[in-house]
Structure 1
Amino acid sequence: MKYAVMGGLLALLLGIAGCDQSPQHPDDLPWQISVTPEGRPQVFHLEIGKSTLREVIEHLHSFPEIAVFAHESGKRTLEAYFGSQRVGLFEAKIIAELQTDDATLNKFQTGAVKREGMASGQWKYPLSEADVKAADALPVHKLVYMPSVNYDPDIVTARFGQPAERLPSQKEGVELWFYPQKGLAILMNNDGGEILYYTDPQHYAALKQELLEAKPKNAN
């Protein structure tokens, strides 16, 4: 039963997407990835590593919650969380991680409206209104796509192709599929809840390391 809904939907789309003469050719599908001469993936009409947060907002017609996330290890990220969105034919949660420097992160963190503790061990610093506007022009170097339905591995292989590598995660029941030529990594979960990560060539190695080193939430 786990993959029945997704398998049925994607199987239907396989037929639709395979018919180039269809007047309603599906658009904005997660496997519709092209690569620029610079090696940057283009997906959902966005060029990862070049498109700005403003372009994502305009494409999704949605305003995100933007915050700096600071981990106890010292690592910090600037993320725009769009929540559940209708992207193409599917519902998915979208997170855009933005490229910036330490000075800007310091500014945003200092000017945050509050500080919130997270179960992951991170601190969340929501941006002030002024800093939200400043973040608009920052490029997206990682896009996280979390579909609302489960992905059948056979359908994923049919649409995305065979991954260059399939490696075990530190999380039980989770396997990591890597497509470096597409700037894509997929977290495949036996219990559902797959996650797709798109990033540019400059950050692909870091994404791979991050996913391989990620520990279960209840790990010390």
Structure 2
Amino acid sequence: MKHVLAGSLFALSLAVVGCDQTPQHPEDLPWQITVTPDGHPQVFKLEIGKSTLRGVIEHLRSFPEMAVFSHESGKRTLEAYFGTQRIGLFDAKIVAELQADDAMLDKFQNEAGKPEGMASGQWKYPLSETSLKAADALPVRKLVYMPSINYEPDIVTARFGEPTERLPAQKDGVEFWLYPQKGLAIVMNNDGGEILYYTDRQNYAALKQELLETKPKNAN
């Protein structure tokens, strides 16, 4: 269950004062985003669209569960699920979607273990050991950050700014807050369970379309 921490999100993200009263500056906060001239958001010391799976593994010091997901629409994604990680001051579940062409996805599926049917209607193909090694050098197409605390709207606007667009989702009580200039999209949920998506300029339109067409993942 998520912990509702509205005002405390501010307190935790402000400079931490040590015993000597010297202010410290927390890093790896989800709103600490800079964008390169070619449109790659930099967050959590990663450059989305350029940083590889190996870079994420080294930064998080964690090995993910990896699989190809085959969607009902025919679309396939290669995802690395890191589970709950402590990044900066906060805990969050992390998923990295990797950039892989059809030939590589075919290879990974053919080498995969027995596929697993998902409640969502997708099929999950866990990667073999050989495929895991081959995936190491693939760039991160999209990074998904599912915080363990709820993000109240006023906190989001204070930290991330006003979104360029607010679009309703298929599910009641859910909105998509879009920040294309930051390479960020946030699923805002009245019942909690916000999800942050980071992607580069080249893939932002596709991310927006995916969010509008599919149900958001459950972060709980």
Shift of 1:5: 3.6
Q: Structure 2 CA distance, aligned partners of 1:22 and 1:82?
A: 34
Which residue number corresponds to residue 45 of structure 2? 45
Q: Structure 2 CA distance, aligned partners of 1:197 and 1:22?
A: 34
- Indicate conservation of the 8 Å contact 2:3/2:148, yes or no: no
CA RMSD of aligned residues (A): 1.9
- Indicate conservation of the 8 Å contact 2:13/2:26, yes or no: no
Q: Structure 2 CA distance, aligned partners of 1:22 and 1:69?
A: 48
Q: Structure 2 CA distance, aligned partners of 1:120 and 1:33?
A: 32
- Indicate conservation of the 8 Å contact 1:146/1:194, yes or no: yes
TM-score by length of 1: 0.92
Say if 1:115 and 1:42 are closer, same or farther in 2 by CA, change over 3 A.
Answer: same
- Indicate conservation of the 8 Å contact 2:187/2:216, yes or no: no
Q: Deviations over 1:142-197 (max 9, x none)?
A: 00000011101101000000000011011111000000000000000000000000
Q: Structure 2 CA distance, aligned partners of 1:98 and 1:109?
A: 15
Q: Aligned with 2:24: secondary structure?
A: coil
Gaps of 5+ in 1: none
Residue range with higher mean Cα deviation, 207-216 or 169-178 = 207-216
Shift of 1:214: 1.6
AA at the equivalent of 1:145? Y
Matched, 1:178 2:183: no
Say if 1:4 and 1:193 are closer, same or farther in 2 by CA, change over 3 A.
Answer: closer
Shift of 1:216: 7.7
Q: Percent identity?
A: 77
Say if 1:62 and 1:14 are closer, same or farther in 2 by CA, change over 3 A.
Answer: closer
Which residue number corresponds to residue 113 of structure 1? 113
AA at the equivalent of 1:195? I
TM-score by length of 2: 0.92
Say if 1:68 and 1:161 are closer, same or farther in 2 by CA, change over 3 A.
Answer: same
Q: Aligned with 1:32: secondary structure?
A: coil
Shift of 1:39: 1.1
Which residue number corresponds to residue 149 of structure 2? 149
Which residue number corresponds to residue 70 of structure 2? 70
- Indicate conservation of the 8 Å contact 2:5/2:149, yes or no: yes
Q: Aligned with 1:6: secondary structure?
A: coil
Shift of 1:23: 3.8
Q: Deviations over 1:186-209 (max 9, x none)?
A: 000000000000001111001001
Gaps of 5+ in 2: none
Say if 1:197 and 1:26 are closer, same or farther in 2 by CA, change over 3 A.
Answer: same
Which residue number corresponds to residue 132 of structure 1? 132
Say if 1:22 and 1:47 are closer, same or farther in 2 by CA, change over 3 A.
Answer: farther
How many residues align? The count is: 213
